[in-house]
Amino acid sequence: MTHIKAEEIIKKVMNFLRLFMNETLVKRIMSMVLLSLGISNNRVTELTGLCIRSVYILKKEMETGETDDLFKIRSGGKTQSKVEDIESAIIEEVEKNDYHTQQQIADMVEEKFGVKVSSRSIGRLLKKNEMKRLKCGSLPAKADVKKQRNFYDAVLQPLMEKAKNGEITLLFMDASHFVMGCDFLGYIYGKTRRFIKTFSGRKRYNVLAAFNFVTKKMTTVTNDTYITSIEICELLRKVALEYAGKPIYIILDNASYQKALIVQELAAQLGISLVYIPSYSPNLNLIERFWKFAKTKLRTKYYDNFELFQETINSIVDSSDKHNKNAVDQLIGDKVQLFDDIDANPVSKVSFRRNIVLNNAA
């Protein structure tokens, strides 16, 4: 008998047993039959759907002869059934309001629906519905989501399409400030909490960059002092030389040193179009995602040498269109993060997760 035929027979037998008994009993009886035939625990789990822990317990009870409880269903089954009856209502409530722990959700179920349930059962329910405990994102309180949508539809998306078609060069410009030893503590697996040494000073490495939307290449100007309109002008000249021959559009925010008259005049002379995003809209400047990626790469390592710190950052930035290109492609694609249906009332409690549109973004 082939594996396929055996699986078909097992399914038919289990479907027949379901006419007379509880689903849990069906799985146990079928598992006992298969175990008595010498089928491995893992294979029994695959064939019956009974979890591996239950199969181990079942096998042990069969070996010891302690089978009195094998055909009894614990009272928890009723609770589980009640939870399944109100499952959609629970998920809707979790989506609507803010719950930080599984125990909080369990307490809510008991209070709102009158069903006492364990936090472990809530965990299974959340997993079944593909809900995860995710870090909250943030949106500046003064952001105008309608302006963001209009900017994306009327300006940014058309520029993206032209760039992909090779008609223009589209760049996203921004500066990131890397403070040695202060910003890069992350998470590490282990039995105990670990402590990473941090640098006692405040040495800072500034990277001003123009990120090519299509090729993912970074053009940079760096220093360890400040970013001013002088550095912006230096970067504009670099960009003009590197991408000569095509119209150049640069997406950038409204920082005062980027809107300075000297910057705008030089851009006009070089034939570069500066496109300023709406105020308080960092989500529209896609280079922000790369800075987060770069800082993640720096985490959980102690740097006591500023030159090494600079070299490491440079290597990450320079690899954006090379060995890190696949990761950057997944992080930065055609879509941007928008918040179309968020209540403008800053006091309102709003869940952003249903409004986020990303293209494989981390």
In this prediction, residue 362 has a pLDDT band, given cuts at 50, 70 and 90, of very low
At 322 the pLDDT is 93
In this prediction, residue 88 has a pLDDT band, given cuts at 50, 70 and 90, of confident
At 357 the pLDDT is 38
Render pLDDT for 122-137 as a digit per residue (tens, 0 to 9): 888 888 888 888 877 6
Which single residue is written with the structure tokens 């294979």?
Answer: 43
φ, ψ dihedrals at 206, nearest 5°? -100, 135
- In degrees to the nearest 10, what's the CA dihedral of 58, 64, 70, 71? 140
Q: Can you tell me the distance from the alpha carbon of 181 to that of 224, in angstroms, rounded to the nearest whole number?
A: 15
Residues 6+ positions from 190 with CB-CB distance below 8 Å: none
Closest among 285, 60, 41, 19 to 176, alpha carbons compared: 285
Exposure string of 294-306, with b = 16+ CB inside 10 Å and e = fewer, is bbeebeeeebeeb
- Residue 181 vs residue 288, higher pLDDT: 288
Render pLDDT for 181-226 as a digit per residue (tens, 0 to 9): 655 555 666 777 777 666 556 789 999 999 999 999 999 999 999 9
Closest among 291, 287, 290, 306 to 224, alpha carbons compared: 306
Q: Can you tell me the distance from the alpha carbon of 65 to that of 75, in angstroms, rounded to the nearest whole number?
A: 23
